[in-house]
Amino acid sequence: MLYACSTWYTPSEERGFKMRKKQVEEALSRLQKKALCIATGAFRTTALSVLEVETHTLPIPLQLLQASVNTALRIKGTPTFRQIKLYRGAGYDMCKDRLSPLQRTELQADQILGPIDQMEEKVASVAPPWWTPPKISIAGTASDATKYHNRICQQAKNDPKHLLMYSDGSDIKGRVGASSWCPKLNRQMGADLGRRGLMGQLKMLHSRLTRCWLELRWRQLQLERGILTFSG
């Protein structure tokens, strides 16, 4: 009954919307009363408010407001909302004073929840569907891992674009280490991050990639680089 109500219902008391809002609420309230009378077996003369209390059913105005505000909040939490804000600012002067149904619903949300200046952006996935993930290899034994590592290092010695990164997540004595190495340029950077587990490795990736990007840019290597990460 309330399917897609955020598109055809605007919870606004302004002129031009108040009468339409009242008509929609009255029509849907009559339908809800008929349904509750059938479900409970009550008399047709029973007040709608009594039926709603007995059946723990929200009144129609609150249901419509809840659905509209939730939809507006979901839209504000998507990456698309940034484009919506840009289009709002680039509109014609004569249209800037006119609010869209979404903006009117946002005003209602601000009145209920307070001003919402910042919202956490929610994305459908952390990477686009066409993104190719990096190759991941997990050695079965320590000797296999050593052989694989030595082979990669030998290949990297002849390639100035190859960068090796190491993360020690063993958490020995509560410490996590990290380092990066470019065999061809013979450049090495390391740090004892003093952090635990996965957060230490993520911090390592952020700091090492930042410093390595600056280092490689300073050397003006124009070709695409290959980066390989070893995690313990």
* pTM as predicted: 0.53
CA–CA dist 201, 198 (Å, integer): 5
Number of other residues whose CB lies within 10 A of the CB of residue 154: 10
Q: What is the pLDDT, as a whole number, of residue 223?
A: 42
Six-digit token pair at 200? 């230490």
pLDDT in tens, 124-150: 777 777 888 777 778 888 888 888 878
pLDDT in tens, 91-108: 554 455 577 888 888 888
Which parts of the chain sit beneath pLDDT 50? 93-94, 192-193, 195-197, 218-224
Spell 55-76 as b/e; 16+ CB within 10 A means b. eebebbbebbbebbbebbeeeb
Is the distance from CB of 165 to CB of 211 less than 8 angstroms? no
The residue extents of the domains of the chain are 5-113, 142-231
